[in-house]
A and B are shown apart, each in its own frame.
Chain A
């Protein structure tokens, strides 16, 4: 069953076209890893999926709703597509627990006590039960990113978008975030992950997409693309990120 479908999606900022005719469909349960050089449009693609950016032409259907249909409630799409950012973007004035409970309280109208209880459960799921009362500035980068994942999960999305979730982290902190993502994938969450962590792509990813200059150049199995890169472009890229 399709959860994301891009039909000739184009996105321009002013005169520069950043995404060219992207055709892509993603089924429920897939873990899609997106690779590509800086500036190739990976973030923009994710941001179009949860409508933080409006597409310029084509159509994009998320959870059965078209982002271009004026009748679509964009907030509904955003609730179904949770997003995790490179810079975590936790709300600094709220504790870890408040960050996680915030979405359900404001968006799903969950009663406060219930939202806090669910937030506690989510925090223990990402291994941070004891840090519930800490502010983001009191947490390490890896801990902040795990709270950010819990925050996105709290609104019970059907799809999770990760935009370079470990790029801002020191190497020794990447592992804790990747293992949370791995267990999420094992639970069957549909995920689109922009990341250059090849181990994650090979062990957890069910599909690999290589983007360059706003186009999808390759789309296939991570193992096959990794072992036999079909183009020099991908081969060079893979060599560079090692």
Chain B
């Protein structure tokens, strides 16, 4: 086996460009997904009339189709269908937000429904409004339950950015692919790319573990 460390080092600047983009898409995509997911999750958990059905349809469509197809649809089909045109990076952020949002909605819904009704009764019995009970009692409790599955979803989201290679976004996997195409050094390139993903996901997992420990109910 001939593994050229020198070559790996020489590719690092280009790979780092990909890392930056991967982090950018992950950060904004997941932030958008979190907003969308919390909103949809609450709508589903509290069965808000009408919106409830829209939310359920959204989750159904997104969970029922592959993210690669969603990316292709937004980037290639939307311009034809409605004249909506955007750069690959924006399309990637949008697709990740929509995709993660559907899964996060289910996480939020599950967490809210898992909170003992007794706490809601206790809050209402004190004279709090429904909104106050949700914000100060159910929210904080549900949030603690959401951290482990959310962490899982964040790691999936980060890795899913590699699929945006199909719409030509220059994220990490795409950079690896390009280096490969010009150098044919598959072993070095994919080892380096894999290790970088592992570093990123490990960092994400450790941050969430830290948050989980801080939020632990003694």
Contacts and interface: CB of A to CB of B under 8 A. Distances in A.
A122 B121 CA distance: 22
Contacts of A83: 121-122, 125
A103 interface: yes
Interface stretch (B46-54, B128-136, B172-180, B194-202): B128-136
B118 A87 contact: yes
A83 B116 CA distance: 17
A83 B118 CA distance: 12
A78 interface: yes
A70 to B, nearest CB: 17
Contacts of A152: 125-126
Interface in B95-138: 116, 118-119, 121-129, 132, 136-137
Nearest to B121: A52
Interface string A69-96: 0000001101101110101011111000
Nearest to A73: B127
B140 interface: yes
Given A91-B137, A93-B141, A138-B218, A102 B126 contact: yes
Contacts of A103: 126-128
User: Range of interface residues on chain B?
Assistant: 20 to 34
Contacts of A138: 218
Contacts of B124: 52, 78
Nearest to A83: B125
B128 A106 contact: yes
Nearest to B135: A106
A109 to B, nearest CB: 11
Contacts of A75: 127-129
Contacts of A81: 125
Contacts of A217: none
Contact of A79 (B126, B137, B217): B126
Contacts of A148: 122
B159 interface: no
A107 interface: yes
A76 B124 CA distance: 11
B218 A85 contact: no
A136 to B, nearest CB: 9
Contacts of A155: 126-127
B217 A93 contact: yes
A79 B122 CA distance: 12
B144 to A, nearest CB: 7
A124 interface: no
A78 B129 CA distance: 10
Contact of A93 (B116, B125, B140): B140
A78 B121 contact: no
Contact of B136 (A89, A90, A106, A137): A106
Contacts of B140: 93
Contacts of B218: 135, 137-138
A145 interface: no
A231 to B, nearest CB: 33
A151 interface: yes
A36 B141 CA distance: 35
A151 B123 CA distance: 10
A137 B217 contact: yes
Interface string B14-42: 00000000000000000000000000000
Contacts of A79: 126-127
B115 to A, nearest CB: 10
Given A92-B217, A93-B141, A137-B217, A107 B128 contact: yes
A50 B125 contact: yes
Nearest to B122: A89
A28 B218 CA distance: 41
Most B CB contacts (10 A, CB to CB) among A47, A50, A137 go to: A50
B126 A52 contact: no
Interface of A: 47, 50, 52, 75-76, 78-79, 81-83, 85, 87, 89-93, 102-103, 106-107, 135, 137-138, 148, 151-152, 155
11 contacts: A82-B125, A83-B122, A89-B118, A91-B119, A91-B122, A91-B137, A91-B141, A93-B217, A107-B126, A155-B126, A155-B127
Q: What 6 A-B pairs have minimum CB-CB distances, sorted nearest first?
A: A79-B127, A83-B125, A89-B122, A89-B118, A103-B126, A107-B127
